[in-house]
Amino acid sequence: MIRFEILTLFPDFFKGPLSESILNRACEKRLIDIRIINIRDFTADKHHVADDYPYGGGAGMVMKPEPIAKAICSLKEESPQPRVIFLTPQGKPFTQQRARELAQLERIVLLCGHYEGIDERVRMRHVDEEISIGDYVLTGGEAPALIVLDAVARMVPGVLGNEDSFRNDSFYEGILDYPHYTRPEEFEGDRVPETLLSGHHKKIEEWRRREALARTLRVRPDLLEHAPLSEEDHRILNELRKLG
Ligand code: ADE
């Protein structure tokens, strides 16, 4: 059981996504536990103000440090101790590798920033790790938190119906996924590749590997520099490069 706690100013953001499909089922099966915590509940003033003007001027507002610190400290009163992750474009790029590592933890706090960001002091003292989901700026950390939660949760054994269906995923082995087909055998004039209909498991496996390599070479050649590749993979890649 891995527990996620999301610290946010917009708890309703999560209502829809978390009530649907795989994540909801994972919660019901008690494989994961998700709690949404409103940072505003940790404000001390009667108007529940969670943001303020930036020192030094400039556009936008900054999230005040005290409510965030209080919220994190209240969570740390319980065991096991969580890893506190702040979602920000200034963080380390999120990867499948990091998702796999985080899935080993027992408790993860996802802190969602808003406005221009959070006070640097709370970041320094109370955040363990900063994650960016990509080189673009969103309106807040809620969507990124959901993305990290989803990617981590599906690595937890039992969350995907088929125990190990994540093992074939794009990036799990460092390259992109092979193409998938289902019925009908012919759709808008295109037939399912013959190999997939043959029932010949070894040939199917070879075909899928070749297609995955071809797709990676075409779309994400950068991945091939770090992917674990066999001699046979290199032979196929050389052949594909010659074919252009
Ligand atoms: N908050 C705003 N943009 C973000 C991004 N790209 N990654 C993580 N958190 C964010």
In sequence order, the 6+-apart residues with CB closer than 8 A to the CB of 84 are 72, 109, 111, 126, 127, 128, 129
Q: Which domain holds residue 101?
A: 2-153
Q: Is 138 in the pocket of ligand 1 (CB under 6 A)?
A: yes
Query: pLDDT at residue 162 above 90?
Result: no
Per-residue model confidence as pLDDT tens digits over 137-146: 999 999 999 9
Ligand 1 site, residue 117, Cβ cutoff 6 A? no
* Paired strand residues for 191: 186
- What's the CA-to-centroid distance between 184 and ligand 1, angstroms? 41
Q: Are residues 24 and 62 in the same domain?
A: yes
Contacts of 22 (CB under 8 A, 6+ apart): 153, 154, 159, 160
With 0-12 CB in 10 A as exposed, 13-18 as middle and 19+ as buried, what is 69? middle
Residue 170 CA to its chain's centroid (Å): 13
**Residue 176 forms part of a structural domain:** yes
The tens digit of pLDDT for each residue in 101-133 reads: 999 999 999 999 987 899 999 999 999 999 999
Q: What is the CATH number of the domain that holds 230?
A: 1.10.1270.20
- The answer to whether position 160 is within a domain reads no
CA torsion, points 210, 216, 217, 220, in degrees to nearest 10? Answer: 180
Which of residues 98, 122, 153 is at a domain's end?
A: 153
Give the separation between CA 97 and CA 73, rounded to whole angstroms.
29
Smallest CA separation from ligand 1 atom 9, residue:
88
The verdict on residue 190 lying in a domain is yes
* Number of domains forming the structure of the chain: 2
Q: Which of 8, 133, 147 to mutate to test the pocket of ligand 1 (most atoms within 8 A of CB)?
A: 133
Cβ count within 10 A of residue 167: 10
CATH number at residue 142: 3.40.1280.10
174 Cβ closer than 6 Å to some ligand 1 atom: no
For a mutational test of ligand 1's pocket, the pick from 137, 142, 147, i.e. the residue with the most ligand atoms closer than 8 A to its C-beta, is: 137
Whether 224 has a pLDDT exceeding 80, the answer reads yes
Assess whether 142 and 175 both reside in one domain.
Answer: no
Domain assignment present for 66:
yes
Mean pLDDT of the chain: 95
Whether 189 and 134 map to the same domain: the answer is no
Decide if 111 is inside a domain: yes
pTM: 0.94
